[in-house]
Structure 1
């Protein structure tokens, strides 16, 4: 089919950047959309939100207010992050964020998002990236004049339908994974916080604890071992997940630690807790628990230990501080019963995660071929 070759500005109503500053902190209000809210896979992530007050919102949207169908992207520091603004979004662009407003008569927003995620566009952006002493930057004055080759609107819609089918399956599986995790956490709270474990009616309570339970320190249960630095350019890609304090941040060919095990955030996302069912490489912003000490009860118990140090003068999570935190330890038999109960949930979670990896691989194989026109639709 015929493709149109033109500068990206010919397919867009406009390309706008956000404010070059940060608003005063606000407890609520519209979203201040930052780089951390956009994933590498092209999704918006609102697990951590910064707000802008209603009073300041007009100031921060004076240049542009994101609307449904806009493609937001990062142009400085962390590059190559793109996402499509959904219906009902109320927020403004954060620092180092910009957006493309598609001309709907010429381009389908979903297609444009996939195009921006493709190797074709990435190569064009890398060719114009300015390498700085501290951060890299895509010059926004050059982006509008970058030439692209796009198919007709009907073909764009067809391509977007094919690729979005993969992403919808992936997103459905993510929701199922979240439900499985929440079910396990609810069961943990029922048994070990509210003390409504199997047979609790027949167990006496002494000093606020069921008989056979005891108060202990985190240091009595585990050792926190340091992760090891592994820069992004040194990650070879492969079957081994690389963990930081914000979760999986890449892959590698070799492992530093054996799984299944627990990862605890040391710097950055301090006190975060992750379960890795497989061998892994935790980097130096995280601790890991030796495999022989890690189990699902401990994974679900650790968030209640309160690792978030409130002393702003102390960066990161100190091991001795972590070891000093309190936990309640149930009898070993009950701990084992709980693990046996939740293990099928986590096995299903792992199966869904593996399925999502295959779906993502399939989508990523199709993406460049569809964008190049190698596959007719």
Structure 2
């Protein structure tokens, strides 16, 4: 099927607009503001937690984001961020967008926003965007170039049918993300309740000794975990490889790894926790637990900027929850040293961070509760990878008209 083509601008309901820039004293309160972080992290942006910005009513009128707006990365330090497209959806309160983003608002009488969101995620749409990306150190696009690119324009009814079909995948993916977030929150809350607040199962029956329950002791973290574990592997053999971008800032799930022969970098096995040691990855929260390896391939490697945290005498699930705990993270961040922009965690911070070693029986009880949670997260993550693969295989066929809907 051959679709007509049109300048992208001919589908606009109003001119495209760059986002707002305000000095630091306007940040911290006010309305939600969409930053490049949201653009990288989410395909649909709306109801997530975001930074806030003070805006006047007149400024809000000009820079407001509404459901159906297309948001394009205007400039980025990495090429894939330049022109990256997200869809405003589920806006639940006044929201604006920052200066590194371009807002496009389409005329709903001729264009379906969700269709063009998927269009710019497809190979043909990405090719159109790459044709206008410029810059050396910082990659970017200009609104004037974006409005002039030529796009496919199928009939409105076809756009709507394609969007509905693809939305089915993203609705399921969104449901899985929400379930994973709830499961992870329950595991972290249980960790804090048992090992920080000391309200573990049966706590009221144990006598206290020097402000600690009987059988508990205070130890440096390095006595409980190994941060440089030996992981046996065959030299020259290809293994899964986890880059830094595969770690999430908020979730235990590690994105699908690639493959390469092991050379340098971190080596790890299932149930090891990976912690980013370099700025700003550590401050942003990049942490994950390895659960994707099989008996046939029990080893993987990853970025040189990972710290591998492996249990010595505690539960591996305890290790991951500790790695996400605010107290530990602040301690690790305070230890960072090095040149600006390349600061790294001081390995000695694991010797100076004091924590409580629970009795083995308490850890066994903890594992019995949280292990099914971690396993369920991994099942949902596998389902999401399968859904993503199916959607991405279908996308170019729909956008080329090879499949009629």
Distance in structure 1 (CA, Å) of the matches to 2:191 and 2:176: 23
Q: Structure 1 residue 338: deviation in Å? A: 1.4
The offset of 1:200, in angstroms, is 2.6
How far apart are residue 246 of structure 1 and its match?
A: 4.7
Spell out the pairing of 1:259-338 with structure 2 (5 A cutoff).
259-266=270-277, 267-270=279-282, 272=285, 273-279=287-293, 280-290=300-310, 295-302=316-323, 303-309=325-331, 314=337, 315-338=343-366
Q: Give the conservation status (yes or no) of the 8 Å contact 1:262–1:274.
A: yes
Aligned equivalent of 2:193: 190
Does the 8 Å contact 2:169/2:391 carry over to 1? yes
For residue 141 of structure 1, give the secondary structure of its aligned residue in structure 2: helix
Structure 1 CA distance for aligned equivalents of residues 117 and 82 of structure 2: 15
The number of residue pairs the alignment matches comes to 363
2:384 pairs, out of 356, 363, 366, with: 356
Residue 155 of structure 1: how far off its partner (Å): 0.9
TM-superposed CA distance for 1:76, in Å, is 1.2
Query: CA 1:340 to 1:49, structure 2 compared with 1: closer, same or farther past 3 Å?
Result: same
1:86-127 CA-to-partner distances (Å, cap 9, x unmatched) read 343422221311011111101111111111111111111112
Q: Give how far 1:360 is off.
A: 0.4
Is 2:258 the counterpart of 1:252? yes
How far apart are 1:3 and its partner, in Å?
2.6
Q: Find the counterpart in structure 1 of residue 124 from structure 2.
A: 120
Matches within 5 A, 1:173-212: 173-212=176-215
- TM-score between both structures, scaled by the size of structure 2: 0.80
Match of residue 342 from structure 1 = 370
Q: Structure 1's 19 and 28: CA in aligned 2 closer, same or farther, altered over 3 A? A: closer
Write the mapping of 1:62-73 to structure 2, written as runs, cut at 5 A: 63-73=62-72
Structure 2: runs of 5+ lacking an equivalent: 230-238, 294-299, 338-342
Partner of 1:306: helix, strand, or coil? helix
Residues 96-135 of structure 1: pairs in structure 2 closer than 5 A? 96-132=100-136, 134-135=137-138
Q: Could you say what secondary structure the match of 1:307 adopts?
A: helix
- Residue 233 of structure 1: aligned partner: none
* Structure 1 unpaired stretches of 5+: 227-237
TM-score in terms of structure 1 length: 0.86
Alpha-carbon deviation of 1:348? 1.0
Q: Is the 8 A contact 1:184 1:345 kept in 2?
A: yes
Alpha carbons of structure 1 residues 147 and 72: separation in structure 2 relative to 1, 3 Å: same
Higher deviation after alignment, 25-34 or 68-77 = 25-34
What is aligned with 2:235? none
